[in-house]
Amino acid sequence: MVIAARPRTRSLAGATILQLVPALRDDPVGQAAVDIALTLLQSGARAIVAGGEGPLVGELRAFGGEWLPMITDTVNPLRIARNTRHLQKLIAGERIDIVHAQSAGAAWSAIAATDRMPVFLVTSFPDRLAGDSWPGTTFRGSLARGNRVIAPSSYISRAMIERYKIPPERITVIPRSVDTARFNPAAINVERVAALRRAWGLLPHMRVVLVPGRIAPWNGQMTVIDAARLMVGGGDRNIAFVFVGEDRGQVRYRNALQRRAHEHGIDTLIRLVGHHADMPTALAAADVVVVPSLEPPLSGRAAAEAQALGRPVVATSVGALPENLLCPPRMRDELRTGWLVRPGNLGELARATAAALALDVTAYEALGARARQFAEFMFSPQSVAEAIRGVYTSLLARDA
Model confidence over 314-357: pLDDT tens digits? Answer: 999 999 999 999 999 989 999 999 999 999 999 999 999 999 99
pLDDT tens-digit readout, 368-388:
999 999 999 999 999 999 999
The pLDDT tens digits of the residues spanning 87-108 come to 999 999 999 999 999 988 899 9
Q: What percent of the chain has pLDDT over 70?
A: 94
pLDDT, position 237: 83
Identify the pLDDT of residue 74. 84
Q: How many CB atoms lie within 10 A of CB 127?
A: 21
Judge whether residue 132 has pLDDT over 70. no
Quote the pLDDT of residue 137. 64
pTM of the model: 0.89
Q: What does the pLDDT read at residue 61?
A: 96
Do 16-177+381-397 and 185-379 agree at the fold level?
Answer: yes
Q: What is the mean pLDDT of residues 131-142?
A: 66
Q: How far is the first Cα of the chain from the last one, in angstroms, to the nearest whole number?
A: 27
Taking a C-beta distance cutoff of 8 angstroms, is the pair 291, 321 a contact? yes
* Per-residue pLDDT, 130: 64
The residue among 182, 255, 248 whose CA lies nearest residue 222 is: 255
pLDDT, averaged across the chain: 92
- Looking at the predicted structure, is the pLDDT value of residue 312 above 80? yes
Least confidently predicted of 133-137, 261-265, 310-314: 133-137
Contacts 24+ apart (CB under 8 A), 236-240: 237/266, 237/269, 238/203, 238/205, 238/206, 238/207, 239/206, 239/207, 239/208, 239/209, 239/269, 239/357, 240/200, 240/202, 240/206, 240/207, 240/208, 240/209, 240/269, 240/270, 240/271
Q: What angle (nearest 5°) sits at the alpha carbon of residue 34, between those of residues 28 and 38?
A: 140
Which strand (E) or helix (H) includes residue 98? Answer: strand 98-101
The string of pLDDT tens digits covering residues 2-48 is: 444 445 556 899 999 999 999 999 888 899 999 999 999 999 999 99
Q: What is the pLDDT of residue 5?
A: 45
The mean-pLDDT minimum among 56-70, 75-89, 120-134, 149-163 falls in 120-134
Domain limits, the chain:
16-177+381-397, 185-379
Burial, 205: exposed, middle or buried (Cβ in 10 Å; 0-12, 13-18, 19+)? exposed
**pLDDT for res 251:** 93
CATH architecture of 16-177+381-397: 3-Layer(aba) Sandwich (3.40)
Q: Are 283 and 289 in contact (CB under 8 A)?
A: yes
> Among 4-13, 204-213, 259-268, 366-375, which stretch is predicted with the lowest mean pLDDT?
4-13
Fold category of 185-379 in CATH? Rossmann fold (3.40.50)
pLDDT confidence of residue 4: 44
- Indicate the pLDDT class of residue 243, thresholds 50, 70 and 90: very high
pLDDT for residue 135: 53
